[in-house]
Amino acid sequence: LAKTTQPISMDSYEGQEVNITCSHNNIATNDYITWYQQFPSQGPRFIIQGYKTKVTNEVASLFIPADRKSSTLSLPRVSLSDTAVYYCLVGASLGDMRFGAGTRLTVKP
Amino acid sequence: DADVTQTPRNRITKTGKRIMLECSQTKGHDRMYWYRQDPGLGLQLIYYSFDVKDINKGEISDGYSVSRQAQAKFSLSLESAIPNQTALYFCATSDSGGQHEQFFGPGTRLTVL
């Protein structure tokens, strides 16, 4: 199973772009990279998934370099409601993926 | 109505009691999962099922058992509850396609005294 490393916490201000990086040095060829968001006392919510290069949806962008040993979740113009824990998961199927401790993002006014 | 429902939402029980947590889904997904989350930590996978006849252990299956009664129902049992099983329990579903998107239920807060 691929091990992931993320910063424990990050602070930002409303309107800023936030980039959260995840390291996954032992990622396997068939592994995808998936990010989830979790608010207190709620189940995680899927944000974005990618395999290589760049993926963008209405919520975020995911940047994956050619070696795929890391990935960066980019949240444009964050608001207070983006305060949450963000998890990076790596695996070929959901049975292989593991939620680490995640990154606690705090957005300040 | 919610796509993934869990019952009960809160439960307080005593050490040694048998407890069953239930999960139902209306998303038509084949795959279902049970996780536990301790305060301030990430989710740990207990069991997962890719279809009715397929049950797999996750990271922390000891002390737990599951039953997949139907495609839409996946139950988690604690045969003899102990205090360190006090946690927030989440059920999730996903389809069998390429997108690794899980849909989570609202959670069950279990306290074992």
**For the segment A44-86, what is each residue's pLDDT rounded down to a tens digit?**
999 999 999 899 999 999 999 999 999 999 999 999 999 999 9
The verdict on B66 touching A (C-beta cutoff 8 Å) is no
pLDDT score recorded for residue A92: 84
Chain A positions touching B92 (Cβ under 8 A) are: 43
Mean pLDDT (whole number) for B69-94: 96
Task: Report d(CA A98, CA B62) in Å as an integer.
Answer: 17
Is A34 close to B59, i.e. CB distance below 8 A?
A: no
Is B100 close to A43, i.e. CB distance below 8 A?
A: no
pLDDT score recorded for residue A38: 96
Tokens of A64: 């994956």
The verdict on A99 touching B (C-beta cutoff 8 Å) is yes
The verdict on A97 touching B (C-beta cutoff 8 Å) is yes
Looking at per-residue pLDDT, the higher value among B74 and A94 belongs to B74
pLDDT score recorded for residue B1: 59
Assess whether pLDDT exceeds 80 at residue B99: no
Residue A55, amino acid: V
DSSP string, A3-27: --B--SEEEEETT--EEEEEE-TT-
Assess whether pLDDT exceeds 90 at residue B84: yes
**Phi, psi (rounded to 5 degrees) for B85:** -95, 5
Digit-coded pLDDT (tens) for B2-61: 799 999 999 999 999 999 999 999 999 999 999 999 988 889 999 999 999 999 999 999
Q: Determine how many CB atoms are found less than 10 A away from the CB of residue A103.
A: 21
pLDDT band at B98 (very low <50, low <70, confident <90, very high): low
Is B100 close to A94, i.e. CB distance below 8 A?
A: yes
| Percent of chain A whose predicted confidence (pLDDT) is above 70 | 99
pLDDT score recorded for residue A18: 98
The b-or-e profile of A55-76 (16+ CB within 10 A means b, else e) is: beeeebbbbbeeebebbbbbbe
Tokens of B30: 């084949």
The alpha-carbon gap from B82 to the nearest alpha carbon of chain A, in Å, equals: 22
pLDDT score recorded for residue A10: 97
The verdict on B56 touching A (C-beta cutoff 8 Å) is yes
The verdict on A13 touching B (C-beta cutoff 8 Å) is no
Is B58 close to A101, i.e. CB distance below 8 A?
A: no
Assess whether pLDDT exceeds 90 at residue A1: no
The alpha-carbon gap from A76 to the nearest alpha carbon of chain B, in Å, equals: 22
